[in-house]
């Protein structure tokens, strides 16, 4: 009786080990990772073609079924992933970033189920979501995992910088909207101008004509360089710390 109870758990645990990023010596997990990597790359081929044909539809169907199975298995083994034997672990996993990416990569399967239905025309727009399948590669890259850990550590600082940038864009847009009333058709145009100015892109489609407006543009560009440099320094320092931590852990 004990074996009958433990065998399903062993199967579930083994499935979890296979679908997660492989470790040394686990050939089955490595083969699964390779299949998913090939599926992601091949599944993007239809997006690079203008017209559909039987081959692209076959690719869509095959990759969609693979990703759907992968999504189901990951939800089934979410208690191992989250480390908690509770229904809350399944809910927590479903709303996690990687699970949302998996879901977005599965949604385009609706285009295959309802290919010619006007009632489900909205689902045909979800074909673009196939591009999100590239994000599934995050799970299989050790370097990207390092970046993920890095961003998790500095997320508060990055959010603070983004809030500062947003405030500056709005303030700059308000000032320019009053100085150059004839330049913008709406306040959104002023927001657009402030955003491309602070990033020093400046497409040239909206150009101030007054001296005061041009002065504000110069100040906006100079301040933009300083503000954009803030997250660069934060990210660089956090990345170096994470690399050192990984290196120290590996040496130990």
Note whether residue 70 is domain-resident. Answer: yes
Q: Is-contact 137 147, C-beta < 8 A?
A: no
Tell me, yes or no, whether 149 lies in a domain.
no
**DSSP 8-state symbol, 21:** P
CA dihedral 185, 190, 195, 201 (to 10 degrees): 60
The DSSP code for 180 is -
Asked whether residue 132 falls in the same domain as residue 12, the answer is yes
**What's the CA gap between 91 and 15, in Å, rounded?**
19
pLDDT tens figures, 75-88: 888 888 877 777 77
pLDDT (average), residues 21-41: 82
* Domain count within the chain: 2
Do 178 and 134 share a structural domain? no
pLDDT in tens, 117-168: 554 455 555 566 666 677 777 776 666 667 777 777 788 888 888 888 888 8
CA 6 distance to own-chain centroid: 37
Does 148 reside within a domain? Answer: no
Q: Is residue 112 part of a domain?
A: yes
Per-residue DSSP letter, 84: -
- What CATH number is given to the structural domain containing 34? 1.20.120
**pLDDT of 194 higher than 80:** yes
Domain end (from 85, 112, 140)? 140
Residue 127's nearest CA partner among 71, 70, 48 is 48
User: Which residue range is the domain that position 247 belongs to?
Assistant: 155-251
From 140, 175, 207, give the residue that closes a domain. 140
Are 86 and 170 found together in one domain? no
Residues 129 and 167 in one domain: no
Asked whether the beta carbons of 206 and 184 are under 8 A apart, the reply is: yes
Mean pLDDT of the chain: 77
Whether 216 is covered by a domain: the verdict is yes
Do 79 and 160 share a domain, yes or no?
A: no
CATH of the domain at 243: 1.10.287.70
- How far apart are the C-alpha atoms of 148 and 228, rounded to whole Å? 20
Are residues 84 and 6 part of one domain?
yes
Given this model, what pLDDT does residue 116 score? 57
Same domain, 88 and 113: yes
In a domain, 150, yes or no: no
CA-CA distance, 66 to 39, in Å (whole number)?
8
Which of the four pLDDT bands, split at 50, 70 and 90, describes residue 203? low
CA quadruple 179, 184, 189, 193: dihedral positive or negative? negative
> How far apart, in Å, are the Cα atoms of 235 and each of 155, 161, 221?
10, 12, 22
Domain match, 192 and 130 both: no
Least confident range from 20-24, 98-102, 112-116, 228-232: namely 112-116
126 and 165 in a single domain? The answer is no
User: What does the pLDDT read at residue 1?
Assistant: 44
């Amino acid at each position: 009786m004990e074996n009958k109870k433990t065998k399903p758990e062993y199967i579930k645990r083994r499935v979890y080990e296979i679908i997660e990023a492989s470790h040394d010596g686990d050939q089955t997990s490595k083969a699964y990772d390779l299949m998913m990597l090939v599926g992601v790359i091949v599944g993007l081929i239809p997006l690079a073609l203008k017209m559909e044909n039987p081959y692209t539809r076959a690719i869509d169907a095959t990759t969609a079924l693979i990703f759907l199975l992968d999504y189901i298995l990951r939800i089934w083994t979410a208690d191992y992933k989250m480390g908690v034997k509770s229904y809350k672990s399944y809910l927590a996993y479903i709303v996690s970033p990687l699970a949302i990416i998996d879901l977005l990569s599965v949604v385009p399967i609706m285009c295959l189920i309802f290919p010619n239905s006007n009632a489900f025309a909205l689902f045909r727009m979800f074909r673009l979501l196939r591009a999100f399948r590239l994000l599934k590669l995050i799970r299989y890259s050790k370097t990207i995992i390092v970046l993920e850990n890095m961003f998790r550590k500095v997320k508060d600082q990055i959010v603070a910088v983004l809030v500062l940038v947003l405030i500056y864009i709005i303030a700059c847009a308000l000032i320019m909207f009053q100085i150059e009333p004839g330049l913008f058709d709406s306040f959104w145009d002023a927001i657009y101008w402030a955003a491309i100015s602070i990033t020093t892109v400046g497409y040239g489609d909206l150009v101030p004509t007054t001296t005061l407006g041009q002065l504000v543009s110069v100040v906006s560009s100079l301040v933009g360089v300083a503000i954009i440099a803030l997250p660069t320094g934060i990210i660089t320092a956090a990345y170096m710390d994470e690399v050192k931590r990984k290196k120290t852990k590996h040496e130990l």
